[in-house]
Structure 1
Amino acid sequence: MKICIFGAGAIGGYLAVELSLAGHNVSVIARGAHLAAIQQNGLTLLTGDVTKHAEIEASDNSGRFGPQDLVISALKAHQAHASVTQFLPLLGKETPIVAAVNGIPLDSMWYFYKTGGPFDGLPVESVDAGGRQWTILGPERAIGCVIDPACEVITPGIIKHTMFNRFTLGEPDGTRSERVRVLSKILSEAGFDAPIRDNIRWNVWLKLWGNVCFNPISALTYATLDRITTEAGLLTLCKAMMAETQSVNEAHGIHIPHEMADRRLAAAGLVIGHKMSMLQDLERGRSMEIDALVTSVQELGRLAGLRTPLIDTVLSLIQERARTAGLYPTDSPKSSSMSLRNE
């Protein structure tokens, strides 16, 4: 299968190596020193005690590769929004786009697609301002994907995979289409755990329970994931932010048992020494993915008429931390500017 991975960072690079070694025609869109390293030396994946290597075509120009059978977006939310027209040369008439990302970033292209509820057809403005992805790419192309692997680019061209290999898949309308079954088979044969879920939004929110707190707390405190989930004060803050997030997903019709929070925290505590992506970006001077992981939860809470005071507070802190580092636009959404529906 002809597969292009748009964004060959930690997750994208992990996927690229394994899919290439499984026999697929894989290309990647990358940039900067990472692109140069891939072009010169290929991609190297360190996973457990095993080192894997793949020679992969790489470019910063999507027009070089032509229409694909499958496009996987591993970009951060703001990158996907800014790069939306660059996806077009990769798209044939029926090319699906898989959003292998955290939070509600490219997922915004389909999150309210075919929900049948009061917000059906509504883009999530905090991650898809003006509905550019929805309009230009089309929500019918999207296959939902929730990522679990803990990965990091440790140096240009070299990816370290620490733990977990699950990519949970699902169609926005809940069907088990031919294309999602083919995708699951492809990923499974490449060594990934790729279950299909009938309600992928459930999995999106369960992952968000962790990301909404783990990521900003890590960037504010420099704590690793195991520290965040075991230090008493940070753990209490995580649980409170998770409870606020649960109230938002419940308001949008996604029912997740409360005890899943403890399971989520316990699983996170097993990942010893892992720096969350937001902290990785802060340390490397890269733009920080705040809106998809935190602002989007606040926005969906506002749509439902809910207050999220702790999320609002942490959001304001991490936005300002990122602004002072020059890693977050000064005109990005601010918690104080969003009003409650029906207020």
Structure 2
Amino acid sequence: MHEIVPELSIQKAAKGLRICVAGAGAIGITLATRLSISGHSVSVLARGESLVAIKKNGLSLMDAEGEHRAHVTVGTADELQNADVLFLCAKAQDLESLAEAVQPLIHPETLVVPFVNGIPWWYFQGVEGRHAGRTVLAVDPRQRLKRLLPEQRVIGAVTTITAERLAPGVARTRNPLRCVIGEIDHRRSDRTDRLAALLAESGIATRVTERIRDALWTKVVANLCSNPLSVVTGATLRDVCGDPSLSIVSRKLVDEGLLVAASFGARLELDPSSLLAMGASMGDFKTSMLQDYEKGLPLELAAICNAVMELGELEGISMPFTRTITILSQFKSSMRQKAPYVESERTNAA
């Protein structure tokens, strides 16, 4: 049963909350900047060139409202105060190391809000049924995330933010910023309502749901049908989801994902045609996976593809199309990481 923890962090006045954004990629920059310019106390956990750049120049975000600059506290976990709300903005394969790094920032009432792609480590937590408490091995093979980030602290979050990291501490986004949040045990709580209000007043359209896994599966299937295929083809979202030829392949990936989602009782919030139309409407943006591929970085295949196939196997569902595209993506990625690397100036997150 999901334990209800003391809600100090939602009883405080919103502007008095200590908010930390862990991760300074495109999504982290976007989130931290929007929160900061709305008057919140925001710190950013960063490292390397991002840490240096943000200390010197602050954050810069270009969005539909114009250009924003924000000066935030930035540092390592040992240098920052603990947080009332801790946003985890990292690639799924980097989440375990980030979860270890943020431990000094967590106090007994900290809310942990992971903005990550794919099936999350908490998928089987907070719910009853024959798989209750099970570990999704594709995303938490050592079961470290379950121990480092206890379920009673976690708020489920699904983001639809298309942003580009132009340089350390600098990002751009053209599309609307949207988020869905909910308790992972599907109860309604004051803390989710207040967190949604905090995000909404910061310019991120946010709604609360009592079925967070429906919103989760909607994005998982959207990622499943676009990210690995973009690596195989080199195509942008417009073509992956809208080109007459490629969209046939995308639809097959959607159909396999839908079967798995349905087997776990999830109802997608968009039908397949609308899901593909939404992807095509994002325009000529490269998926985050394609950008990672072009930079020679590891891909989020474990969370976006392997975890879905793992869940499918639990229900006896075969996913041959997904498996084939995943194998091709992984092979291309392996070959690319062996090749000489020239850093792209742009990193897109979709």
- TM-score under structure 1 length normalisation: 0.91
2:336 to 321, 325, 341: 325
Once the two structures are superposed, residues 190-246 of structure 1 have per-residue CA deviations (whole angstroms, 9 ceiling, x without a partner) of 111110011000010011111012111112211110011122221001101110001
> 1:53 offset after TM fit, Å?
0.5
For this pair of structures, how many residues does the alignment match? 322
Residues 115, 157 of structure 2: 8 Å contact kept: yes
- Percent identity of paired positions between Structure 1 and Structure 2: 33
Once the two structures are superposed, residues 150-185 of structure 1 have per-residue CA deviations (whole angstroms, 9 ceiling, x without a partner) of 101012221011212111001011112121111111
Aligned position for 1:54: 70
| Structure 2 counterpart SS, 1:318 | helix
Which letter does structure 1 place at the counterpart of 2:48?
A: G
Once the two structures are superposed, residues 286-331 of structure 1 have per-residue CA deviations (whole angstroms, 9 ceiling, x without a partner) of 322111111111111011111100001011111111222238xxxx
Give the whole-Å Cα distance in 2 for the aligned partners of 1:206 and 1:170: 14
Aligned position for 1:276: 287
2:104 to 77, 85, 89: 89
Which letter does structure 2 place at the counterpart of 1:314?
A: I
Residues 50, 168 of structure 2: 8 Å contact kept: yes
1:177 to 154, 172, 189: 189
> 1:49 offset after TM fit, Å?
6.0
Q: Relative to 1, partners in 2 of residues 1:176 and 1:40: Cα closer, same or farther, differing over 3 Å?
A: same
Aligned position for 1:154: 166
1:267 aligns with 2:294: no
Structure 1 portions without partners, runs of 5+: 328-343
Give the whole-Å Cα distance in 1 for the aligned partners of 2:268 and 2:290: 28
1:248 to 242, 249, 260: 260
Aligned position for 2:10: none
Once the two structures are superposed, residues 238-262 of structure 1 have per-residue CA deviations (whole angstroms, 9 ceiling, x without a partner) of 10111000110111111337x6111
Write out aligned runs for 1:154-233 (5 A): 154-233=166-245
Aligned position for 1:138: 150
1:302 to 313, 327, 338: 313
Aligned position for 1:337: none
Residues 81, 127 of structure 1: 8 Å contact kept: no
| Structure 1 counterpart SS, 2:242 | coil
| Structure 1 counterpart SS, 2:108 | coil
Write out aligned runs for 1:12-91 (5 A): 12-48=28-64, 50-59=66-75, 61-91=76-106
Residues 209, 261 of structure 1: 8 Å contact kept: no
Which letter does structure 1 place at the counterpart of 2:315?
A: A
Give the whole-Å Cα distance in 1 for the aligned partners of 2:161 and 2:333: 25
Give the whole-Å Cα distance in 1 for the aligned partners of 2:175 and 2:214: 22
Residues 249, 255 of structure 1: 8 Å contact kept: yes
Give the whole-Å Cα distance in 2 for the aligned partners of 1:145 and 1:316: 28
- TM-score under structure 2 length normalisation: 0.89
| Structure 2 counterpart SS, 1:13 | helix
Aligned position for 1:117: 129
> 1:35 offset after TM fit, Å?
2.4
| Structure 2 counterpart SS, 1:163 | coil
Give the whole-Å Cα distance in 2 for the aligned partners of 1:303 and 1:82: 28
Residue range with higher mean Cα deviation, 316-325 or 118-127: 316-325
Aligned position for 2:116: 101
Higher relative contact order (CA 8 A, sep 6+): 2
